[in-house]
A and B are shown apart, each in its own frame.
Chain A
Amino acid sequence: MFDDFIVRAILAAVAIAAAAGPLGCFVVWRRMAYFGDATAHAAILGVALAVVSGIPILLGILVITVLTALLVSQLSHRGQGADTVLGVIAHGSLAIGLVAVSLLPGRRPDLMGYLFGDILAIDQTDVAFIALGAFAVLVLLIWRWRRLVTATFSPDLSHAAGENPKTESLILALLLAVTIALSIKVVGVLLIASMLVIPAAAARPFAKTPEGMAQIAAALGISAGVGGPWAALQFDTPVGPSIVVVLVVMYTISSLRSLVRC
């Protein structure tokens, strides 16, 4: 029999994986892996902000991830040198967040829970928020899908079709920020980027079209969302990292298979 908290963990992880799988494909296609890291790491700053200002933690995190996502997406338009700046932001924001939390007066929030996820802290309200948020992200993503794919493939084609690739990049950045904010309680800021990147990377060798890759990535992510918490219960391991380990196993099998094929 599964305990209630494992059921909640699975529901939350599956909801996040369903959105993060397709969304992560863009992270892989556009080489935005650092984007995920930078945005996620900044979330710790959001925790500090929330405690200081008394707003709900999730709201604080959301404010900071959205702001960071906008900043980083502006920087990545600059091209040359953006890589370095992203590296600075990715680790600088984490360090600043950790320092800021340690300076908080009174009872400090448990950082380990935010760094690695804390499945025990997820209650029914959290599950509802995560599920609703992930659903909203998916709906938006499906609505913009064609434009996003065109803009990813060639910004010029997007322009020629009367669309604006910068708008699409902005929408993508916002969707990523929301997904990352929602994922923090499940996998923690240090491992969120892997929920985006690994399912997509594992799906790549089996896909012929962008849509196929998105579906396979979602399916792999959802499987890990069920398998990770289950394995965590079996082996008494932390849930977030267990999900990622399952994903890494999938990625390894997928890479080996495509190597054998070539």
Chain B
Amino acid sequence: MGADNRLLSLKNINVRQGNRTVLDNVTLHVDAGEIVTIVGPNGSGKSTLLKAIIGALPLAGGTMVRGPNLRVGYVPQRVPISGALPLTVRRFLDMPGRVTNTAAHNALTRVGAADLADAQMAHLSGGQLQRALLARALLEDPTLLILDEATQGLDQQGSAQFYALIDTLRQETGCGVLMVSHELHVVMAASDRVICLNGHVCCHGAPETVATAPAYRALFGSGTQGALALYRHDHNHSHEH
């Protein structure tokens, strides 16, 4: 990958919350067209890392270089949907800036949610909500999609469909994808590179490399390798038909 493709690079960044160092000496980069997934146990700083990238948390050290073509489409982990705030999906798509009806309709169609425009956000199911959040991110015409635990609350089939949708969007737009997930078996198959995080980068590389790395096994146990093999099997299987 040449430098022109580089969307984002972090070098030796540190992030502190209060007196605690949440991220220590983290280095990573994302290039156009690749799916990079951050995995790690609870409290390993995955969401903190994404928050630092979108500018919600200050860096205590290190550097972040945003590529000249970087436009971020951010899909938050969960939005605190309160019944007190009336909000249609259509109006949600106007955050932060107003978009045309055509653009809104196109974005919803791309994520398979064209019929949801008039629905209240508070009434959406988990899967519908994720699609609405994704449609909003697409309206930013992103070169980098950032997703924080995007499939939380979805069943296994729902999250598999969601990752398939992300992959399709990546192929259509050529955008890079940086996501956080704890669903190891899906992640391992759907990513080009995996970064295993636990306050610092434990290991990184192609999914196969990471899955066999001792540091990864120490964090997740060896059982996940079985899940990976199982997924691989399913994957091949579906292609044979």
Within 8 A of A (CB), among B64-83: 72, 74, 76-77, 79-80, 82
Spot the interface stretch: B38-46, B50-58, B161-169, B232-240. Answer: B50-58
Q: Which of A156, A204, A208, A211 contacts B54 (CB 8 A)?
A: A156
Q: A29 and B79: CB pair below 8 A?
A: no
- Docked-complex contact B95 and A150, CB < 8 angstroms: yes
A209 in contact with B96 (CB, 8 Å):
no
Interface residues on chain A, number (Cβ under 8 Å): 27
| Stretch among B27-35, B86-94, B176-184, B213-221 lining the A interface | B86-94
Interface residues of A in 124-163 (CB under 8 A from B): 146-147, 149-150, 152-163
Min CB–CB distance B204 → chain A (angstroms) = 24
A87 touches B (CB below 8 Å): no
The reply to whether the CB of B1 lies closer than 8 angstroms to some CB of chain A is: no
- 14 residue pairs bridging A and B, Cβ less than 8 Å apart: A146-B95, A146-B97, A153-B79, A154-B76, A154-B79, A155-B56, A157-B96, A160-B54, A161-B97, A163-B96, A207-B86, A208-B88, A208-B91, A209-B87
Bound: A163/B88 CA distance, A: 22
Interface string of B84-117 (1 = CB under 8 A from A): 1111100110111110000000000000000000
Could you tell me the distance in whole angstroms from the C-beta of A184 to the nearest C-beta in chain B? 27
Is A212 part of the contact surface with B, judged by Cβ < 8 Å?
A: yes
The answer to whether A156 touches B85, judged by C-beta atoms less than 8 angstroms apart, is no
Q: How many of B's residues come within 8 Å of A, CB to CB?
A: 25
Tell me what chain A mostly uses at the interface: helix, strand, loop, or mixed.
Answer: helix
**Are A150 and B79 closer than 8 Å at their CB atoms?**
no
The answer for the CA separation of A152 and B95 in the assembled complex, in Å, is 11
A residues with a Cβ closer than 8 A to B are 28-29, 31, 146-147, 149-150, 152-163, 204, 207-213
CB of B124, distance to nearest CB on chain A (Å): 14
- List the A residue with the shortest CB-CB distance to B77: A156
Residue pair B96, A146 in contact (C-beta under 8 Å): yes
* Docked pose: A207 CA to B82 CA in angstroms: 14
